[in-house]
Amino acid sequence: MSSVTVDPAAEAQAATTAKVEIRAVHKTFGPLHVLRGIDLDVRAGEVTVVLGPSGSGKSTLLRTINHLEKVDSGTVSVDGTLVGYRRSGNKLYELRERDILKQRTRIGFVFQNFHLFPHLTVLENIVEAPVSALKRPRKEAEAAARTLLERVGLADKAEAYPKQLSGGQQQRVAIARALALEPGLLLFDEPTSALDPELVGEVLDVIKDLAASGTTMIVVTHEIGFAREVADTVVFMDEGRIVEQGPPAEVLDSPRHERTRAFLSKVL
Amino acid sequence: MSATLVRTPSTARPAEPPPRIVPARRAGQWTAAALVLALLALGLVSVVRNKAFQWDVVAQYFTSASVLRGLGLTLWLTALVMALGFVLGTLLAVLRFSANPVLRAVSWGYVWFFRSTPILVQLLFWFNIGALYPQILGVSTVNLLGPVSVAVIGLTLHEAAYAAEVVRGGILSVDRGQLEAAQSLGLGRWRRLSRIVLPQAMRAIVPPAGNMLIGTLKGTSIVSVIAVQDLLYSTQLVYHRTYEVIPLLLVATLWYVAVTSVLSLGQHYVERHYARGTAGAR
């Protein structure tokens, strides 16, 4: 592979933060209208927690942000750049896959079920994207990966295979894998929902650390305590719409909408 | 209730050794085993003592030059057909997952067509292709495509149809989330396939592929109908001359068994390799 020199200053800027703007997004799966006109702004460096009952469209919304799910109408932009499309006049032209993949390298995504590559070691999992998508030298990427593993408390697991780790450890590796691209935006899709209750804490601790570091984050979760502690903004969704949003103290402690109150009374 | 039911915790009882487990006696098992072994022994004795097997003739031809040449052809023909078949088959399987409906249909059509006709018919058809196209690129077809080339082409095209289904099954066995994870990390299409999907698909591909390899090894014997001198045909050439049919068929049989045994052993190690990272492995 050709050696691509990366301007460290530009790199640092990309690594810090990105804002997200979502405008009038609609999405249907067959007869199911999953997203019914979503507008959402996430300021750079902020942590947004999305709450809502299952089927409310939270995960679909998250997946539209890195174009894993194509929107039917509306726009998503990250740091002022449209995701998945190029605008010309009043038309949106879908980008070629290569360009979409490039956009995704600036957006980290953490899945509910980790989706680590089971046939690769922990280190190989983390190094894969920097080496093959960003063309980083392998040595450099491995050093960075080991630093990331230290950060998530798994420095001694570099040579292990995912199946040899607990669920909590696997999710921490998945977070390190997402961080290896130094994304300006991190998306978490119910990162603790597949974990044994006793393992939830260690993963939330890692996410809290990241929140403090100033990366923009959108977290879909059912952990109300986590939302209260970490979120700058809490968004409550139901039936494909955003019902209300605001600081955690407002939305969680004195919700304005009956639907929000009903949901919170059940999960708290 | 009396006090006999209530046992005080043993205070001064001497340590009793834990009770020994005695397996149930299975007299029937021993009888059945003895009976089967006796029958096997009887069969073996009759094979050894029946002069009609002509073991001396078997020994004489087992490592004769012409049989070894035939064995060599069978081996390289199998290897070549298997390799080419899986390259073409993998391509066909990947096309089946293409976003392009024409490519998908072509892939499906190929598998449909080449699985729908017996390999013997296909082979005879390719053997007579000169009747349809007497010349290819200005060269006489009969000169261009000798029996061995026809064997390679015919067997490969047939093999590819089956390989395509085996590879497709392997790809389907990989969790969809793996592909999404690779996409979200920005991995390109080729990288996703070669680094993430296919290595995981191999676990599901290897057992049926091993089956196919052994099937192909024996299946190549069909080329004897177009006078390609493989293992079977080279023994046939001898018994057409000497009329020692049985011992020469035994020569071929023993060689097929020997090679198949080696391949089965190899499959075991390949499977172990692709099981790495799964629970219980390593």
Of A107, A117, A163, the CB nearest to B178: A117
Q: What is the pLDDT of residue B9?
A: 55
CATH of the domain at A207: 3.40.50.300
Q: Is residue A21 part of a domain?
A: no
Average pLDDT over residues A138-166: 95
Q: Is residue A25 part of a domain?
A: no
A60: chain B residues, CB-CB within 8 Å: none
Query: Is the model's pLDDT at A15 over the cut of 90?
Result: no
Q: Do A128 and B195 touch (CB under 8 A)?
A: yes
pLDDT tens digits, A216-257: 999 999 999 999 999 999 999 999 999 999 999 999 999 999
Tell me how many domains chain A contains. Answer: 1
Burial of A27 (0-12, 13-18, 19+ CB in 10 A): buried
Mutate to test the interface with A, among B173, B178, B185, B274 (most CBs of A within 10 A): B185
Tell me how many domains chain B contains. Answer: 1
Q: Do A115 and B191 touch (CB under 8 A)?
A: no
Of B184, B188, B282, the CB nearest to A66: B184
The boundaries of the domain holding residue A143 are 43-59+97-267
Secondary structure (DSSP) of B84-106: HHHHHHHHHHHHHT-S-HHHHHH
ipTM strictly over 0.90? no
The boundaries of the domain holding residue B163 are 55-274
CATH of the domain at B242: 1.10.3720.10
Q: Describe chain B by its helix, strand, coil percentages, rounded to 5.
A: 75, 0, 25
Q: Is residue B168 part of a domain?
A: yes
Query: Is the model's pLDDT at A142 over the cut of 90?
Result: yes
pLDDT tens digits, B13-70: 677 888 999 888 888 888 999 999 999 999 999 988 888 888 999 999 999 999 999 9
Query: If you average pLDDT over every residue of chain B, what do you get?
Result: 90
A120: chain B residues, CB-CB within 8 Å: 277
Q: Is residue A249 part of a domain?
A: yes
Q: Do B186 and A101 touch (CB under 8 A)?
A: yes
Q: Please give, rounded to a whole number of angstroms, the shortest distance from the CA of A118 to a CA of chain B.
A: 6
Average pLDDT over residues B238-247: 92
Neighbouring C-beta atoms of residue B128, cutoff 10 Å: 13
Q: Please give, rounded to a whole number of angstroms, the shortest distance from the CA of B89 to a CA of chain A.
A: 23
**Residues of A engaging B, defined by a Cβ cutoff of 8 Å:** 66, 68, 97-98, 101-102, 104-105, 107, 109, 111, 113, 115-121, 128-129, 132-134, 161-163, 177-178, 181
Q: Which residues pair with A234 in a beta bridge?
A: A49, A246
Q: Is residue A69 part of a domain?
A: no
Q: Do B277 and A118 touch (CB under 8 A)?
A: yes
pLDDT band at residue B280, thresholds of 50, 70 and 90?
A: very low
Q: Is residue A15 part of a domain?
A: no
Q: Which residues pair with A217 in a beta bridge?
A: A47, A186
Query: If you average pLDDT over every residue of chain A, what do you get?
Result: 91
Average pLDDT over residues A133-160: 95
Rounded CA separation A165/B275 (Å): 17
The percent of residues in chain A predicted with pLDDT above 90, rounded, is 87
The percent of residues in chain B predicted with pLDDT above 70, rounded, is 93
Q: What is the pLDDT of residue B274?
A: 85
